[in-house]
């Protein structure tokens, strides 16, 4: 059941990235990132997408992301997040903050015959703040952000990456 939920989350992320609505395509950005989980000192790799959310007159962004922790011994961990971010443009960069939901899927490499559960799924909340360099019309934009998770490990992490525009800007 937990593996099916993880696959469903991955399919949903790919579908949103591959088949954006017209309003999303005007501001769709996707790109890789690398980060450090400060609580466990674990490095993670990931991919994220950001798109415009035209809700009323307020400028908001949708943010979907997936983090992989490939360097933890005997554990495979994947995190999927869905957030709403609020941008605050200032000159040549944009500050943003917001939050959303996070699902963490972990599988443990246990010794044969172990009575312990070999997988775990946790749900938590995300709080994010960060900044994008460059202007909204640029084809690519480097970014850096901090992320506090409440539940699902309650971790604090820092990540840097680059968003590349797909379709309109």
Instruction: Tell me the domains of the chain and their CATH numbers.
Output: 2-18+28-165 (2.40.160.20)
Q: Flag residues of the chain having pLDDT under 70.
A: 1-26, 91, 113-117, 136, 152-153, 167-169
By C-alpha distance, which of 79, 33, 41, 87 is closest to 61? 87
pLDDT the model gives residue 164:
92
Quote the pLDDT of residue 136: 67
Q: Report the candidate in 103, 95, 94, 97 with the shortest Cα–Cα distance to residue 84.
A: 97
CA distance 132 to 142: 6
pLDDT of residue 131: 92
Is pTM beyond 0.85? Reply is: no
Q: How many CA atoms lie within 13 A of 106 on its CB side?
A: 17
What span, in angstroms and rounded, lies between the C-alpha atoms of 84 and 86? 7
């Amino acid at each position: 059941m937990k593996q099916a939920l993880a696959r469903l989350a991955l399919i949903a992320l790919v579908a949103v990235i591959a088949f954006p609505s017209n309003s999303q395509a005007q501001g769709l950005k996707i790109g890789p990132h690398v980060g450090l989980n400060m609580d466990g000192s674990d490095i993670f790799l990931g991919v994220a997408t950001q798109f415009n959310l035209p809700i009323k007159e307020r400028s908001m962004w949708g943010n979907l992301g997936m983090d992989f922790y490939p360097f933890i011994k005997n554990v495979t961990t994947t995190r999927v997040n869905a957030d709403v971010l609020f941008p605050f443009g200032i000159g040549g960069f944009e500050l943003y903050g917001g939050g959303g939901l996070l699902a963490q899927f972990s599988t443990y490499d246990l010794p044969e015959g172990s009575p312990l559960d070999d997988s775990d799924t946790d749900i938590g909340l995300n709080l994010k703040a960060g900044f994008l360099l460059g202007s909204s019309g640029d084809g690519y934009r480097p970014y850096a952000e901090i992320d506090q998770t409440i539940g699902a490990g309650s971790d604090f992490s820092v990540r840097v990456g680059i968003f590349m525009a797909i379709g309109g800007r």
